[in-house]
Amino acid sequence: MTEFDGLPILRSPVAIAAFEGWNDAADASTAAVEHLEDVWQAREVAALDPEDFYDFQVSRPTIAMAGGETRSVQWPTTKFMVASPEGTDRDVVLIRGIEPSMRWRTFCEQVLELCHSLEVNRVVLLGALLADVPYTRPLPISGTASDKEAAERLALIPTRYDGPTGIVGVLQDACSHAEVDAVSFWVHVPHYANNPPCPKATLALLHRVEDVLDLPVPMADLAEEAAKWEARVRTTAEQDAELGEYVRELEERVGDAGIQPLTGDEIAQEFEKYLRRRGGSAGPTAGSW
């Protein structure tokens, strides 16, 4: 673990974490944390040693060049940033990285050890999954909390997903065992419009961050970008009769059980139906979440 000039003393800090990869449909959750880093001018205070957790043939390092010479090698890792938003008496620890390739339990131990050293009193985990939802409506957010009272206060829609999990699920379980207050928010990204970025999904997650922190988050141009994203998907749906009909079917489901998050198999089945109507075939995207 690398620390930068020692760890700071923080004011009642809350940690917000997101990880690239399986947990991050359309890059929506990591984009939310990156947005917070920018608008709150966060500074890096620590990073995990990537040697123990990443397969560098899967998550390759990158080279930064200057004047035709190698300036530095940037290794994939998980970074810890600290922000001090205006208008609040608390600090925020922003954790952003890549889902580890190995040693997940040790990875979680190190994350929680650093959170303990920073005296973090709550961990907020952000994720994004592919779901059978209409792009025209507010994107649903499901989630879990460490206690029933917190879940009710945050009006969380409980997930019914049952299957393989990612580092977000494992880290939340580790928080529970360590008796650390934790809550997770998963935004549902339309599986037929899942190419990153998805500013509408990122915006939805940031609104839930506002709920947790009881603090307005500067949204910059995200609302405008979300409107443009929705307009692009609308144009595609207008030009594709099959997709347009599919979206109308999804809109009719809003408010019933059909809007609930689907399992990976259900997503694959729905996506295959859509592709069959188009005369295509389901690729590796169908069950990627």
The pLDDT tens digits for 37-58 are 999 999 999 999 999 999 998 8
Query: Which domain, by its residues, includes 259?
Result: 2-278
Q: Where are the alpha helices (DSSP H) in 81-240?
A: 104-117, 148-153, 167-177, 199-213, 222-239
Q: Which of helix, strand or coil describes residue 96?
A: strand
Give residue 280's pLDDT. 47
Render pLDDT for 259-277 as a digit per residue (tens, 0 to 9): 444 555 655 555 565 455 4
Domain assignment of residue 167, yes or no: yes
Please tell me the total number of residues recorded for the chain in this structure. Answer: 289
Q: From the CB of residue 199, how many other CB atoms can be counted at a distance below 10 Å?
A: 23
- How many structural domains is the chain composed of? 1
Residue 70 is predicted with a pLDDT of: 64
Half-sphere exposure of 50 (CA within 13 A, CB side): 18
Identify whether 283 is part of a domain. Answer: no
Residue 177, in any domain of the structure: yes
**What's the pLDDT score for residue 278?**
45
CA torsion through residues 209, 211, 217, 220, sign: positive
Q: At CA 155, angle to CA 253 and CA 207, rounded to 5?
A: 90
Structure confidence at residue 230 as a pLDDT band (50, 70, 90): very high
CATH at residue 11: 3.40.50.10900
3-state helix, strand, coil in the chain (%, to 5): 40, 20, 40
The answer to whether residue 286 sits within a structural domain is: no
Q: What is the pLDDT of residue 105?
A: 96
- Tell whether the model's pLDDT for residue 133 goes beyond 60: yes
Measured in whole angstroms, the distance separating CA 169 from the mean position of its chain's CA atoms is: 12
In a domain, 288, yes or no: no
pLDDT of residue 112: 97
| Structure-model confidence comparison of residues 37 and 150, the more confident one | 37
Q: Do the domain assignments include residue 115?
A: yes
